[in-house]
Amino acid sequence: MKVLGLDPGLRLTGYACVAMRDGRDALDEAGVLRLKRGDATPDGLATRLVELEADLCDLIERIQPDAACVEAVFAHKAFPATAISMGHARGVILLTAKRAGLPILELAPAVVKRSMTGSGRATKDQMRLAVQARYNLPAPPTPADVADAIAIAAGGLLRHTQPAPTPLP
């Protein structure tokens, strides 16, 4: 089982592929899709979204994941426009993954942080260090979008490979 984790963004979209090997998760690949800075017009935004779709199609074709996992929408009161911006990228990610026939899982940021660090309120640096330690990386992943994508993929893999809890009688 291979899961493609995606941390949506209109400038940088983090991605990571985590696979199950010998009963353990292993990091296959991680990086960012860097989108060209466009103007603030609707046409500039649409151009970046088309670029994101093309990059995602290429990535999915190359990696051949079994599922995709994306960070759920969240809004921070200090940065409300970020949620709107992220929503555009998430829409493209969901559409592209669905067209590729991938099952899609969404995880809330706090769930991703808790599964990687033990705390749903972990900082970016704590996440980067936890990802480095878990996958025995020589350095913390940079930018933080990469660490987030790795954690999202790991959380998605865990959800896809764990048996569902048995309901109580």
Instruction: Write out pLDDT tens, residues 89-102.
Output: 999 999 999 999 99
- Answer yes or no: is pLDDT of 79 > 90: no
| Number of domains, the chain | 1
Largest CA-CA distance found in the chain, in angstroms, rounded: 58
The answer to whether 3 touches 158, Cβ cutoff 8 Å, is: no
Q: Give the domain extent around 147.
A: 2-161
- pTM beyond 0.75, yes or no: yes
102 falls within a domain: yes
Exposed/middle/buried for residue 22 (C-beta within 10 Å: 0-12, 13-18, 19+): exposed
CATH code, 51: 3.30.420.10
166 falls within a domain: no
Give me the active site residues, please: 7, 71, 145
**Summary mean pLDDT of the chain:** 91
- Answer yes or no: is pLDDT of 63 > 90: yes
Q: What is the model's pLDDT at position 161?
A: 81
> Which pair of structure tokens corresponds to residue 18?
């985590």
Q: pLDDT tens, 15-44?
A: 999 999 998 999 999 999 998 877 767 888
- Answer yes or no: is pLDDT of 164 > 70: no
Exposed/middle/buried for residue 101 (C-beta within 10 Å: 0-12, 13-18, 19+): exposed
Q: What is the mean pLDDT of residues 138-154?
A: 97
Q: What is the model's pLDDT at position 103?
A: 97
